[in-house]
Structure 1
Amino acid sequence: MRYSFRPLAGAFLLLSTLLSACSADQIEHIKDGKKIAIKLENMAVKRIMPADLLRATRWAGDSLTSHADRELRRVLAEKLASGGVAAALPYCRPETFASVDSLAKVLEAAPRRLSQQARNPQNQANLPPSQLRPDTTRLVSRLNTEQFSYQRPLILNDQQCLRCHGTVGKDISAADYALIKQRYPADKSTGFRLGEPMGVWQVQLQRTGVAEHYTMRTRKIMKPRPKLF
């Protein structure tokens, strides 16, 4: 029995002719196709695993506490320059700053600072020495299905902080220490040196805020193309 290959050969010949007739510059690309593809990928529902949520808890805690520390340094520098310790003393509470509070609401987080040598009795805590380690140490955990916990050491890493938390008579003048004791009679937050741990940042976060932060951090971002002149 003989088989005829003429129709099949003709089809291949026609397809080859059509492909050879098209060049790359004749293909019409979708305008902003890459941007649209990335947008669609970002909109897709992502499955977030437990390990991802713990990673996001650390990201969120680092972001919130670092912002609070930067704001504290900025505000204290302004107040110390304008009115000394008397002007700066009421502002050593970065967790209450408006910008910090706004970020905490976005992350659905509740930040606080705790210390074994607290100035404000509300910040007093009994912390084991193992939790007062270098600033690279983070403690992240899941408390229950809806809540996560973040903790890191609070380090005295700014020279200006010694004016209120350093050694009395050396870093802190007698007049300034009298102001501190007047405002905080039970003060125990002196005698620190640069680089020493003073306590810890503790942040409690809700699962929804952690998940949203993970989604935002892992989204693809289009890099702007350089302008051609």
Structure 2
Amino acid sequence: MKYSIIFIFLLMALTGCKDSPNAKPAATETGVSATDPDKVVKSEIPYQDKGMEYAMATQAALGKALQSKIQEGGIQEAIGFCKVEALPITDSLSGKFGVEISRITDKPRNPVNAANAEEMKFISKIKSELGTGQPPEALVVRQGDDTNFYYPILTNNMCLKCHGSPEDDIQPRVLGAIAELYPQDQATGYGNNQFRGLWKVSFKGE
């Protein structure tokens, strides 16, 4: 199923940068361990549509607010926005839709966005697919009492202003702001079109 992806200037400086435009159909787990991504079975289910809708609505809300901050004070201003406002905006959309929306990664800037051990298996699966030239997969996985939607995030050139090479892409004053606000930052060193993380939409008790 094709989706119209909303691209906002530097939006995914928050945890990544753009959604994969060629994601395969979502997958769902059928009675096997959610920690084994090789056993995830492809399937079209309603959670795919809802998961994409909610993730893109959140992306649009974050993008609108972030674009305003960039216009006010440039990329350095956007770093402060991410620290203070990104999570409350995401939480507000979670409440609106009655789900739990987040972004997860193996190289977090904000430790809140760090993937857990179970999610790292999905990240490894998608990275392996990218390494063979396959488009990354959107996943719908039943984990315990919840159904979780995962959708890949890839970098684009604008992301590199905050997530690229510290020597070549990120301005010194932006690096200083990152170091001050995120002393445990792991989210630099990316190139264009690289895997950055996953959107996660959790349907609790479903």
Q: TM-score range by the shorter chain?
A: 0.5 to 0.7
1:130 aligns with 2:122: no
The separation in 2 between residues aligned to 1:202 and 1:173, in whole angstroms, is: 30
Residue number among 61, 64, 87 corresponding to 1:71 in the alignment: 61
Stretches of structure 2 that go unaligned for 5 or more consecutive residues are 1-29, 31-42
Per-residue deviation, 1:119 = 0.5
Q: Which runs of 5+ in 1 are unaligned?
A: 1-49, 209-229
Q: 2:64, 2:199 → 1: CA distance?
A: 19
| Equivalent position SS for 1:189 | coil
- Greater share of helix residues, 1 or 2? 1
Is residue 88 from structure 1 mapped to residue 78 from structure 2 by the alignment? yes
Indicate which of 91, 111, 120 corresponds to 2:110. Answer: 120
Q: CA deviation at 1:112?
A: 1.4
| CA deviation map 1:10-41 (0-9, x unaligned) | xxxxxxxxxxxxxxxxxxxxxxxxxxxxxxxx
Deviations 1:129-181 (A, max 9, x none): 2134566511112335x521111112223x43221111113220112101100
| 2:49 alignment partner, SS class | helix
Structure 1 residues 174, 163: CA separation in 2 closer, same or farther (over 3 Å shift)? same
Q: C-alpha separation between the residues in 1 aligned to 2:187 and 2:161? A: 12
CA distance in 1, matches of 2:97, 2:88: 15
In structure 1, the residue matched to 2:101 is 111
- Provide the secondary structure at the position in 1 that maps to 2:140: strand
| Structure 2 SS opposite 1:199 | strand
Pairing of 1:170-185 with structure 2 (within 5 A): 170-185=168-183
TM-score (norm 1): 0.58
Residue correspondences, number: 153
- Asked if structure 2 preserves the Cα contact closer than 8 Å seen for 1:116 and 1:199, the reply is yes
For the pair shown, which has the larger CA radius of gyration, 1 or 2? 1
TM-score under structure 2 length normalisation: 0.63
Identity %: 25
2:126 partner amino acid:
Q
* Aligned partner letter, 1:148: T
> Where in structure 2 are the equivalents of 1:1-229 lying within 5 Å?
55-92=45-82, 94-97=86-89, 100-125=90-115, 126=117, 127-128=120-121, 129-132=124-127, 137-144=137-144, 147-157=146-156, 159-206=157-204
Q: Does the CA-based 8 Å contact 2:58-2:93 persist in structure 1?
A: no
SS at match of 1:178: helix
